[in-house]
Chains A and B, each alone.
Chain A
């Protein structure tokens, strides 16, 4: 047993506790700045993880294989650290609108991060369930944090009910898997799973686990909660849901599918299931986003569509597909966080977060307008930004499998239809930025210097991934190779 592998997670948990304690003796007006302390601490951990030694170093597993610190885990741990750092920036900008308990808000973000870090390493169904619950329960609180706002409370209740339901399904699935095979550990399960491919109960168990994960990533038909919760939750929470929670779902999905039950995945029925879910998710997200006027709701539907695109890479059942998923998530991180940051800053005083609230932004703050444009254009998948290369990789991975199974060609065409539909609503947002009629409010927006720093980091990330894809693609390919198939 090698508990030192968990140093990173323990540090993050300790940070969360410290933030909670700081609440006692920090004067109320300075509590806002706790976010920057947390950012500094997390940035330190991120830097150490890149130094190649210490907390995030490669190798080994702990707790009888329940906790694995392999290449996939390390990739996602860095990803989650970066996501949390950027979300804390947004939270600091947003702090004015949180009536009480801002330091709790920060510490809950950090606790959710700890859950995601555990999820990245989960190699056992018990570990998977505990880490998912750690993430989901903190999010119940984070979503309903604006206690004075009815929408926020409504979103919290919806998330709670549907989240609890999906957890129940998942536990049931885990129980069925354990009942049939007697294994909870992914690696051991992989060895025995081929004997159970014919067992209906075992397959039902796998299916129910996928239901739970499908809820986390907001894939059809478990996507119902996403638009409402995205709209009602405080913007930093929405941002963290969109990137952190979704990525946690994907890392667990990759683990379960490719480490625990690869033998099941290669049965035609499951391949078809993945293809169909991916296709419908893409179409559903994009079609429902078309009429939306509320920006966060629009991004909620767009996040469903993006879950569908990401599922393309999973459905391809290949190393290239997995690498494409990792790359796409990295691009999505900068893009979607940039968009939410703009929403958090610009729509401070706009009650309903309507697209028209962005009118005249290019006169109020050209930098924010350019950021939002880049984010939308990248989400739409237009070169030379990160989103284009990501979609290219996903499509390539799917077409690669087309030769063996023609259903993949149908999937690729569905994805194309989705991309074309999405152009309409993304460009609608861009149009509101630059060319809307008679903007009501033309007061310039002052950006704080941390916010400026944050914006430039996101812009640099969007361009960097689009222009130098190798920096992420090569590690992603290495991870995918180590994951095996």
Chain B
């Protein structure tokens, strides 16, 4: 058994076990969820440490045939692209389980859904089989809808649930059509859902450009809806605004990266010609994410909507990295995916804590919270700084790398994106800090209690530490991402690259 099976399997097993635990044993239920995600996280760290960069092919592979007649098999493995994502996903899941303190009703169902979501998404990232890749993502997606619908907050809850369900189901199904169409491009006798074999096949036999131009938009927009690509982003801020904090952490942090991962892993190497002809479209759409959604974020009066919009804006940088179709750009995109995972989880966890304490996230009603909640306040300031790309945090490394990668190909877009990252991002983040954390403390908030308990502080601390570690030592990631990103780029551009630039030099 591969370690990857255990990483994704423990949460699922724990979810099964929780079914038989009586619902009044809340402590047992909580402990089971926390321990299961902790085991996953520890195993993921171990896997990350044992991963050997630059080895050809996948590591920790395991393959079990499932439906032989269709060429579906349970196949997991990691290379430089998904090793970091799995690490990030497992750590965020652990933090989310710790943050689920705030859930006070129907805990049993909540933790079961949380664990299913965790297992599903970690499995999807580890999967090297198209069918399981989709299957496990869908398994993780459905609990999101239920969690938002049942444990969501605010009066917009029903509308937001409805919207997010509709958008994400449509996105996932469009992507499914694209994936099936891709599978059907292989002649009937060698058909397989196995990603490595498909990649190999299409490296040897180029797909007809008509088919490529049919399938690529399906994948781009199907996955794009899942990642809140502008103009299909409107589900995201509202959905995250009403979602309970652990759900928002897992979805915005981890689950959302599935679509981006799918584009990098499947769409670029398998559909190279279409990828090149669509790169301009992606680049200009991402301006919508970065500038338009950035402006929208500036006008928000609710802290969660602001964070939600900023998270949509950050997706733009990843799309820009993908659109640049070169080694630096793709490496940067993967870096931001990981960094943003930690960051989104951290900010939603913090806003969740503030909401739980104050019962509101209207920025105008908050203020001076740093005085009463020094730990939360400091963490939020650091998260905001990471969000506007301050050196020292992992986001800076990724964003800078993406800009270097994109400059040569899309100078205008890069300038606009820089403006969005440095100025617009800076404005709304610093404004939020001033209005929420600094200034006079309204009388009514004198009752707030700061976090003192170690277990309550732990999730925020872990996520901050991860942001800082990968911010100061990006080499941990880049040395793993680089060789495999190079492979993907060489397939996507079908011409040999110039010697790769030393990216880890972008260290602050």
Interface on A for B, CB 8 Å cutoff?
377, 382-384, 388, 392, 395-396, 399-400, 402-403, 412-413, 416, 419-420, 423-424, 427, 431, 434-435, 469-470, 473-474, 477
Q: How far is the CB of B18 from chain A (nearest CB, A)?
A: 13
Given A416-B173, A419-B169, A470-B68, 12 more A-B residue pairs with CB atoms under 8 Å apart are A382-B142, A383-B136, A384-B135, A423-B166, A423-B169, A424-B162, A427-B145, A427-B149, A431-B149, A434-B150, A470-B67, A470-B69
Stretch at the interface among B174-182, B331-339, B481-489: B174-182
Q: Give a binary string over B131-165; 1 marks a CB under 8 Å from any A CB, 0 the rest.
A: 10001101100100100011000000000001001
Q: Quick one: given A469-B67, A470-B67, are A399 and B166 in contact (CB under 8 Å)?
A: no
Q: Is the CB of A383 within 8 A of B139?
A: yes
Q: How far is the CB of A319 from chain B (nearest CB, A)?
A: 11
Q: Is the CB of B138 within 8 A of A382?
A: yes
In this complex, what residue of A is CB-closest to B138?
A383
Q: Is the CB of A400 within 8 A of B184?
A: yes
B66 on the interface (CB 8 Å rule)? yes
- For A403, list chain B residues within 8 Å (CB): 184
- For A413, list chain B residues within 8 Å (CB): 177
CA distance A22 to B176 in the complex (A): 55
CA distance A348 to B85 in the complex (A): 51
Q: Is the CB of B177 within 8 A of A388?
A: no
- For B70, list chain A residues within 8 Å (CB): 396, 473
Q: How far is the CB of B133 from chain A (nearest CB, A)?
A: 12
Q: How far is the CB of B474 from chain A (nearest CB, A)?
A: 36
Q: How far is the CB of B490 from chain A (nearest CB, A)?
A: 29
Q: Is the CB of B181 within 8 A of A402?
A: yes
Interface on B for A, CB 8 Å cutoff?
66-70, 109, 131, 135-136, 138-139, 142, 145, 149-150, 162, 165-166, 169-170, 173-174, 176-177, 180-181, 183-184
Q: Is the CB of A420 within 8 A of B149?
A: no
| Partner among B67, B173, B177 whose Cβ is within 8 Å of the Cβ of A399 | B177
25 A-B pairs with C-beta separation under 8 A:
A377-B142, A382-B142, A383-B136, A383-B138, A383-B139, A384-B135, A384-B139, A388-B135, A392-B176, A395-B176, A396-B70, A396-B183, A399-B181, A416-B170, A416-B173, A416-B177, A419-B169, A420-B166, A424-B162, A427-B145, A427-B165, A434-B150, A469-B67, A470-B68, A477-B69
| Partner among B150, B169, B181, B184 whose Cβ is within 8 Å of the Cβ of A420 | B169
CA distance A206 to B457 in the complex (A): 73
Q: Is the CB of A416 within 8 A of B174?
A: yes
In this complex, what residue of A is CB-closest to B150?
A435
CA distance A402 to B180 in the complex (A): 11
Q: Is the CB of A423 within 8 A of B181?
A: no
Q: How far is the CB of B189 from chain A (nearest CB, A)?
A: 14
Q: Is the CB of A470 within 8 A of B139?
A: no
Q: How far is the CB of B259 from chain A (nearest CB, A)?
A: 17
- For A470, list chain B residues within 8 Å (CB): 66-69
CA distance A482 to B38 in the complex (A): 52
Q: How far is the CB of B172 from chain A (nearest CB, A)?
A: 10
What 7 A-B pairs come out closest when comparing CB atoms? A416-B173, A383-B135, A420-B169, A399-B180, A383-B138, A396-B180, A383-B139
CA distance A481 to B296 in the complex (A): 57
Q: How far is the CB of A361 from chain B (nearest CB, A)?
A: 14
Q: Is the CB of A395 within 8 A of B165?
A: no
Q: Is the CB of B138 within 8 A of A396?
A: no
- For A474, list chain B residues within 8 Å (CB): 69
- For B176, list chain A residues within 8 Å (CB): 392, 395
Q: How far is the CB of A109 from chain B (nearest CB, A)?
A: 34
- For A399, list chain B residues within 8 Å (CB): 177, 180-181, 184
CA distance A400 to B165 in the complex (A): 28
- For A423, list chain B residues within 8 Å (CB): 165-166, 169
| Partner among A382, A396, A419, A434 whose Cβ is within 8 Å of the Cβ of B184 | A396
Q: How far is the CB of A323 from chain B (nearest CB, A)?
A: 9
- For A477, list chain B residues within 8 Å (CB): 69
- For B136, list chain A residues within 8 Å (CB): 383
In this complex, what residue of A is CB-closest to B183?
A396
In this complex, what residue of B is CB-closest to A420?
B169
CA distance A251 to B70 in the complex (A): 24
In this complex, what residue of B is CB-closest to A402?
B181
Q: Is the CB of B180 within 8 A of A395?
A: yes
- For B135, list chain A residues within 8 Å (CB): 383-384, 388
- For B68, list chain A residues within 8 Å (CB): 470
**Most A C-beta atoms less than 10 A away, residue of B138, B165, B176:** B176
CA distance A431 to B180 in the complex (A): 32
- For A388, list chain B residues within 8 Å (CB): 135, 138
- For A469, list chain B residues within 8 Å (CB): 67
CA distance A77 to B249 in the complex (A): 51
- For A402, list chain B residues within 8 Å (CB): 181, 184
Q: Quick one: given A402-B181, A403-B184, A469-B67, are A420 and B173 in contact (CB under 8 Å)?
A: yes
- For A434, list chain B residues within 8 Å (CB): 109, 150
Q: How far is the CB of A368 from chain B (nearest CB, A)?
A: 15
- For A382, list chain B residues within 8 Å (CB): 138, 142
- For B67, list chain A residues within 8 Å (CB): 469-470, 473
In this complex, what residue of B is CB-closest to A430?
B146
Q: How far is the CB of B349 from chain A (nearest CB, A)?
A: 25
Q: How far is the CB of B451 from chain A (nearest CB, A)?
A: 31
- For B69, list chain A residues within 8 Å (CB): 470, 473-474, 477
Q: How far is the CB of B109 from chain A (nearest CB, A)?
A: 8
- For B66, list chain A residues within 8 Å (CB): 470
Q: How far is the CB of B393 from chain A (nearest CB, A)?
A: 36
- For B150, list chain A residues within 8 Å (CB): 434-435
Q: How far is the CB of A191 from chain B (nearest CB, A)?
A: 28
- For A392, list chain B residues within 8 Å (CB): 131, 176, 180
**Most B C-beta atoms less than 10 A away, residue of A413, A427, A431, A474:** A427
- For B145, list chain A residues within 8 Å (CB): 427
Q: Is the CB of A420 within 8 A of B170?
A: yes
- For B166, list chain A residues within 8 Å (CB): 420, 423
CA distance A469 to B135 in the complex (A): 14
CA distance A431 to B157 in the complex (A): 14
- For A416, list chain B residues within 8 Å (CB): 170, 173-174, 177
In this complex, what residue of A is CB-closest to B145?
A427
Q: Is the CB of B177 within 8 A of A412?
A: yes
Q: Quick one: given A383-B135, A403-B184, A474-B69, are A419 and B173 in contact (CB under 8 Å)?
A: yes
In this complex, what residue of B is CB-closest to A412?
B177
